[in-house]
Amino acid sequence: MTAISCKALCRTFQQGEVKITGLDQVTIDIDDGEFVCLSGPSGSGKTTLLNAMGGLDTPDSGQITVNSQRIDHLSKGEMADMRLHKIGFVFQAYNLIPVLTAQENIEFVMQVQGVPATKRHIKSLEVLKEVGLEGAADRLPSQLSGGQQQRVAVARAIVSKPTLILADEPTANLDTKTASQLMDLFVELNRHHKITFVISTHDQRIMTYARRLIKMQDGKIISDEKLSSAIQ
């Protein structure tokens, strides 16, 4: 089954008098449970494509379907509901709320979803353990390392059991060892929960984890390769 389908996506941006092409007739289908890396230099269109897939940005033209539902014409409220329940995000900047503890950051998503307090508490502790942060529930983001903060961000992304996780340069601010640990975690989540992952990166080491590598340049897909030698 197709997790996400993009058809002829186009997106341009205006910078002063210059028109920048973000996406140029991008067409792609990603199946349920795939582990995909988008690669390419800065400005190639990786982030623009991820933002379109997640409804954070609207393409000028084309169609996007997530879980068999067209999202490119949803209202802001409908798209927010889709993101809340179906799509998890992991960003280069961890985007944690600094005045909330690790557990509270995770519970915030469930609170918005209307999950009862007792259930929020139990689930948040379970997911912290799953990402290797058991015992860190009461720490503020400032009391956590960069790698630990990113794990909290991952826990927040997966706590609602999304079918799709979009990760934009998630290892960019991490050292090599921590980046590898994060990618190992992604692989484990993909394997055990069958979550579809689409990860943007320009780091060659991260690409070795992909089972499918899509290369972008100037807003276009220039290659799309299935890989059999991925780290598993």
CATH number at residue 119: 3.40.50.300
H runs (alpha helix) in the chain: 46-53, 76-86, 102-113, 117-130, 146-158, 176-193, 204-207
What percent of the chain is predicted at pLDDT more than 70? 98
3-class state of residue 6 by DSSP: strand
Lowest mean pLDDT among 86-90, 128-132, 228-232: 228-232
Q: What is the pLDDT of residues 173-215, one digit of tens each?
A: 888 888 899 999 999 999 988 899 999 998 888 899 999 999 9
Q: For residue 28, tell me if it sits in a domain.
A: yes
Q: What is the pLDDT of residue 205?
A: 86
Structural domain of 6: 2-226
The rounded mean pLDDT for the chain is 91
Alpha carbon of residue 213 to chain centroid: 16
Closest CA relative to residue 59, chosen from 97, 15, 107, 8: 8
Q: What is the pLDDT of residue 231?
A: 53
- Please indicate whether residue 177 or residue 49 has the higher confidence score (pLDDT): 49
Q: What is the pLDDT of residue 73?
A: 83
* CB-based contacts of 134, cutoff 8 Å, min separation 6: 125, 128
pLDDT of residue 6 exceeding 70: yes
pLDDT of residue 15 exceeding 70: yes
Using the structure block, give the residue that is written with the tokens 């449970």: 33
Q: What is the pLDDT of residue 74?
A: 87
Q: For residue 232, tell me if it sits in a domain.
A: no
pLDDT band at residue 232 using 50, 70 and 90 as cut-offs:
low
Q: For residue 177, tell me if it sits in a domain.
A: yes
Mean pLDDT of all residues in 77-94: 88
Mean pLDDT of all residues in 79-108: 91
Q: For residue 170, tell me if it sits in a domain.
A: yes
pLDDT band at residue 60 using 50, 70 and 90 as cut-offs:
very high
Q: What is the pLDDT of residues 101-131, one digit of tens each?
A: 999 999 998 998 899 999 999 999 999 998 9
Name residue 103's amino acid: Q
Render the burial of 65-92: b for 16+ CB within 10 Å, e for the rest: bbbeeebbebeeeebeebbeebbbbbbb
* Per-range mean pLDDT, top range of 22-36, 147-161, 217-231: 22-36
Q: For residue 231, tell me if it sits in a domain.
A: no
pLDDT of residue 217 exceeding 60: yes
Number of compact structural domains in the chain: 1
pLDDT of residue 142 exceeding 60: yes
Q: What is the pLDDT of residue 80?
A: 87
Q: For residue 163, tell me if it sits in a domain.
A: yes
Q: What is the pLDDT of residue 199?
A: 96
